[in-house]
Amino acid sequence: MLTQEILNTFKKHADLVAYLQAHKDEDPKYQSALEKYNYEQELLPLQAELVDFQRWVQKENKKIAIIFEGRDASGKGGTIKRFKEHLNPRAMRIVALNKPTEVEKNQWYFNRYIKELPNAGEIVFFDRSWYNRAVVEPVMGFCDKQQYNRFMIQVPEFENMLYESGTKIIKFWFSVSKDEQQRRFEKRLNNPLKKWKFSPVDEKGQELWDDFTSYKNQMFSRTHNSFSPWVIIKSNDKKRARLESIKYVLSLFDYENKGVNCKSILPDPNIVQRYFRNTIQLDQ
């Protein structure tokens, strides 16, 4: 790959950056290499901060649950990958549940998620969560109206109980435009290594766009609160979304050695936005 060839040519970062800057208009690959280089230079210090953050979580027996929600192909999985890349696997987990079993279908809805919640000293990343019932399930007809209404009434109480028991819940919604989602779907279908990511739900994503939007806005208005607010990540630029969501998490806690690895861990307000009531939240 051209990017790796360029990286192997230079021993000094300054020389590499100067070369890429000088040639970026000659070939799109040079511009791509420069963007990748800048992204990685910003990502690595943030990941080092995450390592310090995780040590603090372990030392202080904190319980951290980070929820990643959003439309299909909005960048949730790629962001989780960058979060966990250098963390101690013994003190973190990724939860991405399959469809419920017959036994689980007859249980209280939250049962299957309760057993996945973080233990003391642990960070858990939810690649989709109990909020499937707030958006995906009603849109796709996987739950009935009574199940949906019961969930919407119970979920604030459920999260309040978690909060009072010492579990910190961070709720991300990754917001992607309709055109960008379609572009990513096409890219998946044309990549033999990523075809598995394209599901029947993905197939309906464009057709049912407005329905997803309607349920998403109801979810925001009814489940946003002071102890577990919704945080919207604009994710048309996947790399920027990854960096800024990491910054947001780090900015919430006063862990030991905070900021030692990074000049700034304050998220960009143009990318990271907290939901405000009485405003209509539409995807870009």
Would residue 46 count as lying in a domain?
no
Would residue 164 count as lying in a domain?
yes
CA–CA gap between residue 164 and residue 150 (Å, rounded): 22
pLDDT in tens, 16-57: 666 666 666 666 676 777 888 889 999 999 999 999 999 999
Q: Look at residue 280 in the predicted model and tell me its pLDDT.
A: 46
- Answer whether 0.75 is exceeded by the pTM: yes
Would residue 123 count as lying in a domain?
yes
Whole-Å CA distances, 10 to 17, 20, 45, 99, 104: 9, 11, 21, 49, 56
Ranking 54-68, 114-128, 192-206, 228-242 by mean pLDDT, the lowest is: 192-206
Domain count, the chain: 1
Would residue 284 count as lying in a domain?
no
Q: What is the CATH number of the domain that holds 69?
A: 3.40.50.300
* Residue 147 structure tokens: 């199940």
Residue 161: pLDDT band with limits 50, 70, 90: very high
3-state secondary structure 45-107: HHHHHHHHHHHHHHHHCCEEEEEEEECCCCCHHHHHHHHHCCCCHHHEEEECCCCCCHHHHCC
pLDDT in tens, 220-275: 999 999 999 999 999 999 999 999 999 999 999 999 999 999 888 999 999 999 99
Is a pLDDT exceeding 60 seen at residue 3?
no
Domain that holds residue 74: 63-274
Would residue 19 count as lying in a domain?
no
